Chain A
Amino acid sequence: MRYIPHTEDDVARMLDAIGVPTVESLFAPIPEKLRLGRALALPEAASEQQVLAELGALAALNANAETHRWFLGAGTYAHFVPSAVDALAGRSEFYTSYTPYQPEISQGTLQAIFEWQTMICGLTGLEVSNASMYDGASAAAEAVLMAMRLTRRHKIVSAGLHPHYRDVVRSYVAGPEGKLALLPRDPTTGRTPVPADAIDAETACVIVQQPSFTGAVEDVRAAAEAAHARGALLVVVVTEALSLALLRSPGDLGADVVCGEAQSFGVPMSFGGPHLGFLATRARFVRQMPGRVVGETVDARNRRGFVLTLSTREQHIRRERATSNICTNQGLMLLRATIYLALLGRQGLRALALGNLAKAAYLRARVTATPGLGAPLSAPVFNELVVRVPDSAERALARALDDGAVGGLDLAPYAPDLGPSVLVCATELVSRDAIDRLVRALAGAAR
């Protein structure tokens, strides 16, 4: 076995040093009757060449952004990833290390996390960020739990949240008995306004997705005012992190916690994971923030260095009274995103966001001008919008697929009130020609 270095001679010498006759005898503490007593019923070991061939064959059965033109977003986005991201994140000094418990030999990981925290604070307009969460949905759930602890209230008012995020929030708040109420989407604009009477003295937080699941850019300032008027917090969830480069930061508009999914920043879609949850908040709430966090300090000779800090919030110290049970972060995904943001930088990220905005605007214009199609919701969008199709979303998407495109998300299971509709996303990966072809396919016009 190429992953295990022991020769038979090594084993004999080690057994001798231990003073037992066989490897089997080391398992004496396991009572005989509790042992399996047979080989595991698994396929026999395969060679490296064979494993690569078999996995290659399974991979070939899956449509992907290299085999198809890609218009499916809805929380997971196909973006271009610069070559340097893979090259640097592929360094095994990063990916074969563990949580930086020993800071003197983990400064690479720790400095990258500190840089990530700084970037996320800048993008969200808040003062503190953690070292990432499992994904956007669990980050949203943890943000809600945090708001429940801070306010000692148990009601949650949700606006425009991705249905999967809503489900995850529901699962997480079941233990502490949080109650989730959903606000209706305005049928004309597609926005989800937060009326004052939706919030009462029991409301822990209002949670608003920006842009919403169906693409609308929401009025965050109004939501913040409504929440704060009754002593509730505002949690803003962002599933398309690139929008942060275009839209005013939620922190500036009054959000108390901004969290979500940063997969767009150089992390492969990978069928939904591993992705990159982020969470930022105001400095005064830091002691209730879940997850790892890195802070600056000095060494014994007064040189700058970084360490994991504020660990008294965490499970290994606080146990059942911890702010969360989380003990990993998405370190490798965070690294990718930090590299990505360093490459795109101050100008590039904004230029990319403007390009996405232009693609979606072009898509909207084409949809509006094409008989049989429509853009039923009037609110402005970033790079994703609802497209009404003439017959059924299933048939429209089948036509797109015939033409080599994964054309978007069939909204029937998620938003049946919208009629036959597809949620279509246009990033920098789709060309003008691809958009034209998609519009023709969705409309059912002759190609």
Chain B
Amino acid sequence: MTGPVDRADAGRDPNSPEAVGNASRGLAYEEPLLFERSRPGRVGYSLSALDVPEVRPKDLLPEDFLRTDCEGLPELSEIDVVRHFTRISTWNYAVDLGLYPLGSCTMKYNPKLNEVVARLPGFAQTHPLQPAALSQGLLQLFYELERQLAEVSGMDRVSLQPAAGAQGELAGVMMIRAYHEHRGEQRTQVLVPDSAHGTNPASAGLNGYEIVSVPSGSDGLLHPEAVAAAMGPDVAALMLTNPSTLGLFEEHIVRIAEIVHAGGGLVYGDGANLNALLGIARPGDLGIDVMHFNLHKTFSTPHGGGGPGAGPVGVKNTLAPHLPVPVVRKLGGSEGDGFVLDYEFPRSIGRLHGNFGNVGMLVRAFAYIRSLGPDGLRRCAEMAVLNANYLLARLRGAWHVPYDRTVMHECVLSDARLEASGVTTLDVAKRLIDHGYHPPTVYFPLIVPGALMIEPTESESLEGLDRFVEAMLAIEREARTDPDTVRGAPHSTRLSRLDETRAARKPVLRWQPGGSS
């Protein structure tokens, strides 16, 4: 139970009865919770009349097994629900509103065509257990998409099953473990550079591996000597991201992979930053043995407010026997034509998803690759890299750049020069909102104190980037001349800065009648 909300602003208090369904400030809408809008007797549905005999639950089931009421669900009309969700949607920033420069998240434009094709009944209304003979269009799409991703990445085989990048990592590390176990080796450690995404150590940890952190060099790159020093007979794999989370291409990748391979280990490639390499270079040609793709980053499937993602995993032939099941197979010869799902792979790591993965996302990614073709994909990488380097060129005079080199798809700045003003990266992020932008990724990678990691993607035009640059330059000036305004940001949003400490200290995770608790 939290304390009552300050009522000084009662006319706009979303909880007050007069506010329900009506409160606004100009056209900035207030909107209570669904449960606070609920009125007994309202309905938002129309069910068809039952054409079979009605039944009484207690005639079929023991009374102790039965619920008598769905108390807790609201009672609302359709217009209530439509206004509710339309109003709260206006409180979100989105790619369709503007630049969304979250580093490592690749918030590129999500084409409308892809939404239309994913909703075709022949995709959206299909069932995962319907016979293969009734699913040939989907199986063909999977088969082709697997091969397209293999071509883009230089890997030999691809499984589309993992539901997100982190599940792709989990699959990859499971395959690494299966590979070593099949060879009769019990390796216990996984090397992870200090610039890695948190999912890398978490995925390896879930597989029971001990994590050994490898330091980046003073130039921000991973160096062969550091990997060699950490390498040993207990090391199962090195996990790395290339380009790295600093936006830098790991120039020593081939030598590093040789060192790991010579020691009997494998190299995992985190594909989060693959957008920079499309048509330019392929992880499979750089010594990577296994990697995941983030279709919601590189291949434009929408992020959906946090998901669904899709995280296919690609492998070299050495790991192919361990791929998750089922596997799509094209029939040939005496088997006839068409495609089937195969389950019989004795060395497979098994299943990671209840069905075949996030199929709706696979359809969207397929449409995207088909729309762009080889030249369009390469153009994505080129313009993404051009945009990131343009931002860096325009910002490096005013902002501290911890590793000032030619970058790939993103650049990392820091708040180091703002120290005297007391303004931090968090303040800068919040002030960017007042200037009309979603902030970049902040405080990551961990090796840069106060990091601002900016990934513009290829979707942004020159004038769009220029406006963002103006905002960043303005904030740098404000930090010197008017730091309090920056520290108090955001000022223009419906809500000001939210108290995250309070949320964690006394968690209120659901609404309850008479006040949440």
Contact = CB atoms under 8 A, between A and B. Distances in A.
Contact of A331 (B306, B389, B498): B306
Nearest to A18: B393
Interface in B195-220: 197-199, 201-209, 211
B86 interface: yes
Given A98-B100, A325-B202, A271 B138 contact: yes
Contact of A319 (B198, B383, B430): B198
Contacts of B429: 102
A165 B354 contact: yes
Interface stretch (B224-232, B262-270, B458-466): B458-466
Interface in B331-387: 349-361, 363, 366-367, 369-380, 382-383, 385-387
A335 B89 CA distance: 11
B254 to A, nearest CB: 7
Given A322-B205, A325-B203, A326-B164, A94 B120 contact: no
Contact of B281 (A30, A99, A355, A435): A30
A104 to B, nearest CB: 4
Contacts of B495: 103-104, 107, 299, 303, 305
Interface stretch (B45-53, B313-321, B417-425, B477-485): B45-53
A105 B98 CA distance: 13
Contact of A164 (B90, B94, B286, B351): B351
Contacts of A188: none
A233 interface: no
Given A28-B406, A62-B136, A273-B356, A174 B174 contact: yes
A66 B121 contact: yes
B76 A345 contact: yes
B86 A67 contact: no
A212 interface: no
Interface in A80-102: 82, 84, 86-88, 90-102
Interface string B484-517: 0000101001111111101110011111000010
A87 B82 contact: yes
A435 B52 CA distance: 10
B74 interface: yes
A407 B107 CA distance: 42
A298 B138 contact: no
A347 B152 CA distance: 51
Contacts of A305: 495, 498
Nearest to A268: B124
Contacts of B43: 345, 347-348
A428 B503 contact: no
A27 B85 CA distance: 45
Given A26-B386, A72-B130, A46 B507 contact: no
B61 A380 contact: yes
A359 B52 contact: yes
B351 A171 contact: yes
Interface in A374-419: 380, 401, 406, 409
A57 B140 CA distance: 11
B438 A62 contact: no
Nearest to B348: A171
A86 B202 CA distance: 35
A26 B406 contact: yes
A38 B68 CA distance: 66
B307 interface: yes
Interface string B423-447: 0000001100100001101001000
Contacts of B359: 270-274
Interface stretch (A197-205, A223-231, A307-315, A439-447): A307-315
A304 B208 contact: no
| B interface residue count range (under 10 / 10 to 19 / 20 to 34 / 35 or more) | 35 or more
A150 interface: no
Contact of B355 (A118, A176, A272, A304): A272
B430 A104 contact: yes
B107 to A, nearest CB: 6
A285 B95 CA distance: 36
Contacts of A137: 351, 353-354
B271 interface: no
A55 B360 CA distance: 13
Query: Which of B43, B123, B248, B254 has the most CB atoms of chain A within a 10 A radius of its CB?
Result: B123
Nearest to A174: B174
Contacts of A262: none
A221 B62 CA distance: 12
Given A40-B151, A40-B279, A46 B75 contact: no
Contact of A66 (B125, B170, B204): B125
Given A64-B122, A72-B127, A328-B164, A36 B369 contact: no
B55 interface: yes
Contact of B70 (A86, A118, A346): A346
Given A23-B386, A84-B81, A48 B6 contact: no
Contacts of A247: 61, 65-67
B73 A274 contact: no
Given A26-B385, A165-B354, A115 B34 contact: yes
A95 B498 CA distance: 23
A58 B354 contact: no
Given A168-B354, A325-B169, A345 B129 contact: no
B177 interface: yes
Contacts of A325: 166, 169-170, 199, 202-203, 205-206
B163 interface: yes
B45 A82 contact: yes
Interface in A25-45: 26-31, 34-36, 39-45
B515 to A, nearest CB: 10
Contacts of B170: 172, 325
Contacts of B199: 315-316, 325, 327
Interface in A51-75: 51-52, 54-67, 70, 72, 74-75
Query: Which of B15, B66, B438, B509 has the most CB atoms of chain A within a 10 A radius of its CB?
Result: B509
A299 B163 contact: no
A303 B324 CA distance: 48
Given A45-B372, A58-B137, A273-B163, A104 B503 contact: no
Interface in A207-266: 217, 219-221, 244-249, 261
B44 interface: yes
Query: Which of A164, A274, A294, A354 has the most CB atoms of chain B within a 10 A radius of its CB?
Result: A274
B27 interface: no
B308 interface: yes
Given A99-B303, A114-B33, A355-B47, A347 B75 contact: yes
A41 B71 contact: no
Contacts of B350: 167-168, 170-171, 174
B492 to A, nearest CB: 9
A331 B91 contact: no
A210 B11 CA distance: 47
B2 A296 contact: yes
Contacts of A48: 113, 371
B127 A428 contact: no
B241 interface: no
Q: Which 10 A-B pairs have CB atoms at the shortest separation, nearest pair first?
A: A272-B355, A122-B72, A59-B122, A272-B128, A45-B373, A332-B304, A61-B137, A320-B205, A137-B354, A274-B308
10 contacts: A18-B390, A94-B92, A94-B304, A103-B498, A138-B163, A271-B356, A273-B361, A320-B201, A335-B304, A349-B73
Given A17-B390, A119-B73, A271-B135, 5 more contacts: A95-B304, A97-B93, A104-B493, A105-B438, A347-B75
